[in-house]
């Protein structure tokens, strides 16, 4: 590529090449080694979710991403406070800029792709700071003891007092924890199986689903279980109500409480199971193109083009985008400094948040936030007198508009991200044609030529990509509307099921490549 035609991002290369990163293995990594790395990283993830930030006042902490916690694979108040948010946000920005040709990079070119990846690494660092600083200045409060201790070290006067020092230390912890998450993702991608981001999401969602189903402790764990402090799990809650409620009580309100009312109603458990089964089925729907080996007569195979061709990545990107929208609107409305910005600051039309709450109750942020199950939108529409408080007293028309807006944004956004994802991950017709041709395979009845393969694949891949984005977006939004146990969100359950299926398939491919090394080239192995 001529020097004058190169992207300006090449100027960042001397800096990005020096950033800490995980070295790619020089040769083939054995299957056992890959599985060991996956297990080690998974254990480390759970350890980090239980390592709380030093000096943080847990009682005064406000979780800005409570609604998206399972999807962002984080844990409030811990080193995993930011979760995968910075990584996914950096990926969104890079995909949008490249897709809109704001950044002119040809991702089929090896050098340009290397610059793309290194720039994204730099952008992850920027996003860690962008997401950490606003949270510390307003929502992650240092404890009084920690501030007083810092006053003794730095003095209580001047601009850099104990409070400033305490906040800086918490920001440093968030930065270290988030960058470790980024490195863990690279370890899984380069030395393990699948994606670290996907692994963390599946682990977090699985934990939420298990606790939401069988947790026998009360909603308030510090108090005894009673009719006003029911068990948090769906099954223990149901058994407790049936055992401690009379027949007439069950008819007048008990069954309604079991089926619809939080925490973890039975409808949410049934919805979770239905989502599992439906996603497992739709993951098996595919178009299979017949392939034959050009030199080995009789050797045949198939190239599967799944209905979920773009995987579940578009939904992850959309969830992260909506989480960032909620964070920005929350900051603009409630942050002491940002709320003073003319027109934007304190504007309820962007998002109205009650004091001490991170869930919007009006404005754009409310319309873009995910309804948390049937009880949050269907019951208020059916009986606004009894359940209107669940939708913060909005009218039935407003509730319906919110459902349609959220559903439409999820579907359209997932379609766009699906197209960007295919373009940036070498899954387009041209790249797949080259991959098939390099493995010595061809479509029977067609000349062995990448251009011919490309024309055949162009009949399927672009259309399937759009259908893929539409399907995962509709599934995620529909699952959110039905609701799930454990506050995992419908999107989280959809992602977890898809991730586990893809991990299972990836493990199968790795075992096949281990037994038949000649297949490594076709599957993209080393």
Q: Is residue 207 part of a domain?
A: no
CATH of the domain at 141: 1.10.3370.10
Q: Is residue 105 part of a domain?
A: yes
- Strand pairing partners for 306? 286
Give the pLDDT of residue 410: 95
Give the pLDDT of residue 462: 92
Q: Is residue 444 part of a domain?
A: yes
Give the pLDDT of residue 40: 95
The highest-confidence range among 95-109, 168-182, 511-525, by mean pLDDT, is 168-182
Shared domain for 317 and 438, answered yes or no, is yes
Shared domain for 158 and 287, answered yes or no, is no
Is the pLDDT confidence value at 1 over 50? no
pLDDT band at 375 (very low <50, low <70, confident <90, very high): confident
SS (H, E, C) 409-470: HHHHHHHHHHHHHHHHCCCCHHHHHHHHHHCCEECCCCCCCHHHHHHHHCCCHHHHHHHHHH
Nearest to 61 by CA among 51, 49, 70, 52: 52
Condensed to tens digits (0 to 9), the pLDDT of residues 278-289 reads 888 888 888 888
Mean pLDDT of 254-273: 86
Q: Does residue 158 come out as left (phi exceeding 0), alpha (psi in the -120 to 50 range) or beta?
A: left
Is the pLDDT confidence value at 170 over 70? yes
Mean pLDDT of 464-480: 91
More confident residue, 138 or 170: 170
Give the pLDDT of residue 526: 55
Q: Which of 145, 171, 192 is the last residue of a domain?
A: 192
Task: Tell me how many domains the chain contains.
Answer: 2
Identify the weakest region by mean pLDDT among 165-169, 176-180, 213-217, 421-425: 421-425
Q: Is residue 390 part of a domain?
A: yes
Mean pLDDT of 453-467: 90
Give the pLDDT of residue 236: 92
Shared domain for 328 and 180, answered yes or no, is no
Is the pLDDT confidence value at 3 over 50? no
More confident residue, 236 or 433: 236
Sequence-distant (6+) residues with CB within 8 A of 324 are: 85, 89
Q: Is residue 244 part of a domain?
A: no
Q: Is residue 154 part of a domain?
A: yes
Shared domain for 184 and 311, answered yes or no, is no
Is the pLDDT confidence value at 443 over 90? no
Residue 263, preceding bond cis, omega within 30 degrees? Answer: yes
Per-residue burial over 381-415, b = 16 or more CB atoms within 10 Å of its CB, e = otherwise:
beebeebbebbbebeeebbeebbeebbebbbebbb
Q: Is residue 229 part of a domain?
A: no
The torsion angle over the Cα atoms of residues 226, 227, 231 and 235, rounded to 10 degrees, is 130
Q: Which of 144, 167, 192 is the last residue of a domain?
A: 192
Shared domain for 178 and 327, answered yes or no, is no
Cβ(467)–Cβ(461) under 8 Å? no
Nearest to 426 by CA among 412, 436, 416, 441: 436
Shared domain for 186 and 301, answered yes or no, is no
Is the pLDDT confidence value at 298 over 60? no
Identify the weakest region by mean pLDDT among 90-94, 398-402, 508-512: 508-512
What is the pLDDT of the chain when averaged over all its residues?
A: 85
Shared domain for 159 and 291, answered yes or no, is no
Is the pLDDT confidence value at 388 over 90? no
Condensed to tens digits (0 to 9), the pLDDT of residues 40-94 reads 999 999 999 999 999 998 887 878 777 778 778 888 889 999 999 899 889 888 8
Shared domain for 303 and 449, answered yes or no, is yes
Domain coverage including residue 163:
29-192
Strand, coil or helix: what is 305? strand
Is the pLDDT confidence value at 295 over 80? no
Give the pLDDT of residue 347: 92
Q: Is residue 273 part of a domain?
A: no
Mean pLDDT of 397-411: 95
Give the pLDDT of residue 521: 52
Is the pLDDT confidence value at 474 over 50? yes
Shared domain for 337 and 478, answered yes or no, is yes
State residue 245 phi and psi, 5-degree precision: -125, 135
Mean pLDDT of 107-134: 88
Condensed to tens digits (0 to 9), the pLDDT of residues 147-163 reads 888 887 776 666 678 88
> What is the C-alpha end-to-end distance of the chain, expressed in Å?
27
- Give me the residue label for tokens 């070290």: 153
Rounded to an integer, what is the distance from CA 269 to the centroid of its chain?
21
Q: Which of 192, 208, 240 is the last residue of a domain?
A: 192
Nearest to 365 by CA among 409, 309, 415: 409
């Amino acid at each position: 590529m001529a020097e004058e035609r190169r992207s300006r991002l090449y100027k960042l290369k001397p800096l990005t090449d020096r950033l800490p990163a995980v070295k790619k293995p020089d040769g083939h990594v054995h299957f056992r080694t890959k599985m060991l790395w996956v297990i080690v990283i998974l254990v480390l993830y759970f350890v980090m979710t239980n390592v709380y930030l030093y000096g943080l006042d847990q009682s005064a902490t406000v979780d800005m991403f409570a609604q998206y916690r399972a999807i962002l694979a984080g844990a409030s108040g811990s080193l995993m406070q930011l979760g995968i948010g910075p990584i996914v946000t950096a990926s969104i920005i890079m995909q949008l800029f490249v897709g809109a040709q704001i950044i002119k990079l040809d991702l089929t070119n090896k050098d340009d792709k290397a610059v793309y990846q290194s720039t994204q690494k730099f952008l992850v660092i920027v996003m860690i700071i962008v997401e950490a600083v606003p949270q510390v200045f307003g929502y992650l409060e240092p404890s009084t003891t920690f501030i007083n201790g810092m006053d003794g070290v730095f003095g209580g006067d001047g601009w850099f007092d104990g409070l400033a020092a305490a906040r800086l230390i918490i920001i440093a912890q968030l930065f270290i924890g988030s960058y470790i998450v980024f490195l863990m993702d690279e370890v899984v991608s380069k030395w393990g199986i699948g994606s670290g981001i996907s692994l963390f999401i599946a682990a977090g969602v699985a934990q939420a689903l298990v606790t939401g189903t069988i947790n026998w402790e009360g909603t308030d764990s510090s108090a005894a279980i009673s009719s006003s402090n029911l068990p948090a799990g769906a099954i223990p809650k149901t058994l407790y109500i049936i055992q401690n409620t009379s027949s007439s009580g069950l008819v007048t309100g008990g069954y309604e409480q079991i089926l619809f009312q939080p925490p973890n109603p039975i409808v949410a458990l049934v919805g979770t199971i239905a989502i599992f089964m439906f996603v497992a089925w739709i993951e098996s729907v595919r178009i299979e193109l017949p392939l034959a080996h050009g030199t080995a007569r009789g050797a045949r195979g198939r190239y599967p083009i799944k209905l979920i061709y773009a995987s579940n990545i578009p939904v992850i990107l959309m969830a992260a985008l909506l989480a960032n929208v909620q964070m920005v609107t929350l900051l603009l409305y409630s942050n002491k400094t940002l709320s003073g910005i003319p027109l934007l600051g304190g504007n309820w039309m962007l998002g109205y948040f009650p004091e001490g709450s991170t869930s919007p109750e009006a404005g754009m942020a409310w319309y873009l936030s995910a309804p948390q199950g049937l009880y949050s939108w269907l019951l208020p529409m059916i009986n606004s007198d009894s359940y209107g408080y669940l939708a913060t007293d909005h009218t039935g028309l407003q509730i319906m508009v919110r459902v349609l807006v959220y559903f439409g944004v999820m579907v359209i956004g997932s379609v766009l991200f699906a197209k960007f994802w295919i373009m940036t991950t070498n899954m387009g017709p041209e790249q797949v044609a080259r991959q098939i041709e390099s493995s010595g395979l061809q479509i029977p009845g067609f000349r062995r030529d990448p251009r011919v393969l490309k024309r055949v694949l162009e009949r399927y891949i672009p259309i399937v990509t759009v259908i893929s984005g539409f399907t995962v977006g509709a599934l995620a939004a529909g699952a959110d509307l039905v609701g799930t146990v454990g506050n995992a969100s419908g999107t989280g359950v959809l992602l977890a099921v898809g991730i586990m299926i893809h991990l299972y398939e990836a493990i199968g491919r790795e075992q096949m490549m281990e037994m038949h090394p000649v297949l490594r080239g076709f599957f993209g192995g080393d």
